[in-house]
């Protein structure tokens, strides 16, 4: 697609339920990133994929968080047993990947706004 697409755009869920957030990166982008921004906070890195593998998942806050990417394209971020502190906007981004100037810019989607009540 023309840009990074995320779904759902908004999700309200009850505490304790599981949620899945989807990201469809820009076509041809090999690198995919998940960030989140809680209210009043900066961008918090969660996980990064190069192709289908995740060289860096150091930002996942707990073992309730997991992510996968299949076919080098779509990625799903899963949050199990959601807690109120998980409420945030979850941002996905992609880049061409690789070294060199053309791989150096990442492009963000509009975000998935998660509210845990």
Partner 1 sequence: DQQVKQNSPSLSVQEGRISILNCDYTNSMFDYFLWYKKYPAEGPTFLISISSIKDKNEDGRFTVFLNKSAKHLSLHIVPSQPGDSAVYFCAARPNTGNQFYFGTGTSLTVIP
Residues that bind partner 1 (CB under 8 A): 4, 31, 33, 35, 41-43, 45, 48, 50, 55-56, 91, 93, 95, 97-99, 101, 103-111, 113
Nearer to partner 1, 82 or 112 (CB): 112
- With tokens 């599981």, the residue in question is 18
Nearer to partner 1, 64 or 107 (CB): 107
Q: How far is the CB of 21 from partner 1 (least distance, A)?
A: 13
Q: How far is the CB of 100 from partner 1 (least distance, A)?
A: 10
Query: 13 with 71: CB under 8 angstroms?
Result: no
Residue 101 token pair:
């100037």
19: left (phi over 0), alpha (psi -120 to 50) or beta: beta
Q: How far is CA 93 from CA 17, 21, 82, 96, in A?
A: 25, 13, 23, 11
Nearer to partner 1, 38 or 62 (CB): 38
């Amino acid at each position: 697609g023309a840009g990074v697409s995320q779904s759902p755009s908004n999700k309200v869920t009850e505490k304790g339920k599981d949620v899945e957030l989807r990201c469809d990166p820009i076509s041809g982008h090999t690198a995919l990133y998940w960030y989140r921004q809680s209210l009043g906070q900066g961008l918090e890195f969660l996980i990064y994929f190069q192709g289908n593998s995740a060289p860096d998942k150091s930002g996942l806050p707990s073992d309730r968080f997991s992510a996968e990417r299949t076919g080098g394209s779509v990625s799903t971020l899963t949050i199990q047993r959601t807690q109120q502190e998980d409420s945030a906007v979850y941002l996905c981004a992609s880049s061409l990947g690789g070294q060199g100037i053309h791989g150096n810019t990442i492009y963000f989607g509009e975000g998935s706004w998660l509210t845990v009540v």
